[in-house]
Amino acid sequence: MIIILLGAPGAGKGTQADLIGERLGLVTIASGNLLRENIGNGTPLGLRADAYMQRGELVPDGLVIDMVTARLKAPDVARGVILDGFPRTLGQAQALDANLAAQHKQVDRALYLKVTDEALLDRLSGRWICRNCQASYHEKFNPPRVGGVCDLCGGELYQRNDDRRDVMENRLRVYFDQTMPVIEYYQANGTLVEIDGAQDIEKVGEDLLAAVGPVPAVVVEGVTDSSAA
C-alpha cells in the first residue's frame, strides 16, 4: 500500500506519518529527513541541498527524485510505505507514478491535511525536533514531558533553521505555488482524501486511518502490534 501525506509545512505530516505508520505497520519515508541526514553526513547531495533548504526553497526535482527512488528500493518498503513531504511538485508526482507503474504499483491514497495559514505560522514557530530520531514536538500543542528532551529516545531537541519566520513565509509561498498543483493532480485522479488538520492530534490520526480503510492482509502480516489490524 502506497500512501502519500500532503499538506503545508506545519500541517502535522511528520507527526501523523509516524503515528499512522506505527498503527499500519508501514515504514515512513520523509524526504526532508533524508535530506537533513545527507547534510549531516556531508554527502555530495547534502552539500548541494543545504543552500536551497536554508532559503526555504525546494531542492531541484532531479536530486530529490533520485534520492527517494533509491530509498523506495530498500527491502523494508516492499509491504508499503507512507511518504511524507514527497512529492512536492508535479514533476515529482509524475516521476513517482512512472516509477511505481514500472513495478505494477500505484499511489493508493493521497491524504491531504488541511490547516489555515494562521494556524500554520503559529505551529511552525513553536516547533522542536529530536536531533536523534526526528520526532516532532510543539511548545504549546504537543510539549515533551521534559523540556528539551525527546520522549521517545531521550535525544536532544532543537529548532530547525528553516523554521525562522522569514524562511517559513518563503516555505509557505513555495508550497502554494508548487505543491497545490500536486493536490489538484491527486484530486483529478480520484486518490485524494481531505482531512481537517486543525483537530487535535489523536482525532486527525483517527480520520487518517479511517480514510486509509482496511489494509490488505499482506501489509499487516508480521506486524507485532495487534492493534495494527
Would you please indicate which residues are annotated as catalytic (active-site) residues?
A: 13, 88, 127, 160, 171
- Site map (CB under 6 A) of ligand AMP, residues 139-168, x = contact: -----------------------x------
Closest distance to ligand AMP from the beta carbon of 152 (Å): 18
**Which residue, 31 or 109, has its beta carbon nearer to ligand AMP?**
31
Of all residues in the shown chain, the one whose CB is closest to ligand AMP is 32
- CB 39 within 8 Å of CB 146: no
Binding mask of the shown chain, residues 170 to 199, with x at each position contacting ligand AMP by CB under 6 A: -x----------------------------
| Rounded CA separation 25/111 (Å) | 17
86 binds ligand AMP (CB under 6 A): yes
Q: Phi/psi class of residue 66: alpha, beta or left (left: φ > 0; alpha: ψ in -120 to 50)? A: alpha
| Stretch in the footprint of ligand AMP (CB under 6 A) among 16-24, 69-77, 82-90, 95-103 | 82-90
Supply the minimum distance, in Å, between the C-beta of residue 170 and ligand AMP: 9
Could you write out the DSSP letters of every residue in 110-147? EEEEE--HHHHHHHHHTEEEETTT--EEETTTB--SBT
Contact 72, 99 (CB under 8 A): yes
Compute the least distance from the CB of residue 90 to ligand AMP, in Å.
12
Site membership for ligand AMP, residue 31 (CB under 6 A) = yes
To ligand AMP, the closest distance from the beta carbon of 211 in angstroms equals 21
CA distances from 218 to 65, 83, 149 (A): 27, 19, 37
Pairing mode of beta strands 127-130, 157-158:
antiparallel
- Nearer to ligand AMP (CB atom), residue 92 or residue 215: 92
- Measure the CA–CA gap between 86 and 7, rounded to whole angstroms: 10
Of the candidates 91, 80, 71, 73, the one whose C-alpha atom is nearest the C-alpha of residue 30 is 71
Nearer to ligand AMP, 35 or 107 (CB): 35
Burial classification of residue 191, based on how many CB atoms lie within 10 Å of its CB (0-12 exposed, 13-18 middle, 19 or more buried): middle
Instruction: Give whichever of 28 and 207 is closer to ligand AMP, judged by the CB atom.
Output: 28
Q: Which is nearer to ligand AMP, 109 or 215 (CB)?
A: 109
Which cell numbers in the block locate residue 88?
Answer: 512536492
Question: Does 9 engage in binding with ligand AMP (CB under 6 A)?
Answer: yes
- Contacts to ligand AMP by CB under 6 A: 9, 31-32, 35, 52-53, 56-59, 64, 85-86, 88, 92, 162, 171
